Amino acid sequence: MSVVVQVMTRKACHLCEDAEHFVQQLHDEGLCNLMLTDVDADLQLAVRYGADVPIIFINDQEVMRHAVDVETLRHLVMLA
């Protein structure tokens, strides 16, 4: 499993919780490695992304922001 899906997230963010859940499903299916990054844990990330979360990266390339389209995300992971 060489595909890494990173979710830029924060606490008390319902869209972030949804994104984490969807990516966790892909991870559980063996399609990717999951990396969660709390933007509030790093001042530079908090300044850079502000309230603009969740952000999904596949292998360091941004693919989605805010609401996650599960089928599109699954397709992108399988293509990576």
- Find the CATH number of the domain harbouring 35: 3.40.30.10
Token representation of residue 44? 């530079």
Domain that residue 28 falls in: 4-79
Count of structural domains, the chain:
1
Query: CA 28, CA 11: separation in Å to the nearest integer?
Result: 22
CB of 46 closer than 8 Å to CB of 9:
no
State yes or no: pLDDT of 1 exceeds 70: no
**Tens digits of per-residue pLDDT, 14-58?**
999 999 999 999 999 999 999 999 999 999 999 999 899 999 999
State yes or no: pLDDT of 11 exceeds 90: yes
State yes or no: pLDDT of 62 exceeds 80: yes
User: What element of type H or E holds 76?
Assistant: helix 70-79
pLDDT in the model for residue 17? 96
pTM, entire model: 0.92
CB of 53 closer than 8 Å to CB of 14:
no
Alpha carbon 71 to its chain's center: 14
pLDDT in the model for residue 12? 93
Phi, psi of 11 (to 5 degrees): -70, 155
